[in-house]
Amino acid sequence: MTVASVSLDLDNLWAYLKTHGDPAWERRPSFLRVATPRLLEVFGEHGLTTTVFVVGADAVRDDGAQAVADITAAGHEVANHSFGHEPWLHRYSRVELEAEVARTEDAIVAAGAPRPVGFRGPGYSVTPDLLDVLAARGYRYDASTLPTWIGPLARFYHNRSAPSTEESDELFGGFGKVRAPNRPYRWHNGVVELPVTTMPLLRVPIHGSYLLQLHQVSPSLARGYFRAALRLCRSTGVGPSLLLHPTDVLGATEAPGMEFFPGMAVPAVRKVELLGWVLGVLRRHFEVVGTGAHVAALGAELPVRDVGRLERSG
């Protein structure tokens, strides 16, 4: 059976508000105490071992450290999702990138998880310098690319309700991302890239928040869309890597200030039902693991891609 993977970006409420330009983020509001046990319960019901990408600034606070401990105790991999969750890592110097990665490693280890070997940049932000930092620090894989053409449309959707800044005008990259591979490959420095899978051929996203936006229109549409994506993955030989977020199980009252985010009008109970259905369908057709195990199952023979082909904004 073909291997597929599930990963979760444990982005906290403050991180969403920060990216959206809401000054309320400075109070560091959190929904981790609600989201983490709910997500672990869903994973446990399906017998899944996943990968959770943790933000360092959360791992050093009490609820974030508890989340890391609970995630680790449940057998899930903990990976690095940067320290400050700024989706403009392409603006960082190499020294800043080194500090960002190292601080998060220290926070994750201090919270009780093994030293991470996987990284995902917030907002799919990745640069040649970042990849070199990861290689120098012994990372096995990166999972920061989303091979789609809809980046500018997602940016427009985001920015229409957010203050325009130099950083927000570069979120999610350009149309050129559609040229990035939808299958795993190896960067020239040896780091494996495991893309967040988009629908083969059409190159549109299939991860949680997009499904929920469709579910808000029609539950049957969301399910039909995901079934179609899996059929295309199977017919083209793509082992999908599915991305989730805490908002995939949270209702609007549990994430105050996030009315702008896709699918937030869907009640939490319906979100949990949809996630359970998605995981069940995925498991019927694939052997589902975390991203680290997915990379380990790929073997050594992968195409090599030069970092010079990265978009500047990742």
What would you report as the CA-atom Rg of the chain, rounded to the nearest whole angstrom? 18
Sign, Cα dihedral of 73, 27, 91, 198:
positive
Task: Convert the pLDDT of each residue in 165-190 to its tens digit.
Answer: 555 555 566 666 778 899 999 999 99
> Which residue is associated with the tokens 């299958």?
183
What pLDDT does 247 receive?
98
Average pLDDT over residues 305-310: 77
CATH number at residue 140: 3.20.20.370
Average pLDDT score over the chain: 92
Average pLDDT over residues 34-61: 98
DSSP states of 265-280: TS-HHHHHHHHHHHHH
Task: Convert the pLDDT of each residue in 70-84 to its tens digit.
Answer: 999 999 999 999 999
Residue 235 lies in a domain: yes
Residue 266 lies in a domain: yes
Quote the number of domains for the chain: 1
Residue 66 lies in a domain: yes
- What domain range includes position 150? 3-308
Please tell me the distance from the alpha carbon of residue 139 to that of residue 141, in angstroms, as a whole number: 6
Residue 314 lies in a domain: no
Please tell me the distance from the alpha carbon of residue 181 to that of residue 290, in angstroms, as a whole number: 20
What pLDDT does 206 receive?
96
| Listed ranges 57-61, 121-125, 259-263; the one with the highest mean pLDDT | 57-61
In sequence order, the β-bridge partners of residue 72 are: none
Residue 49 lies in a domain: yes
Residue 115 lies in a domain: yes
Residue 313 lies in a domain: no
Residue 185 lies in a domain: yes
Q: Are strands 3-9 and 51-54 parallel, antiparallel or unpaired?
A: parallel
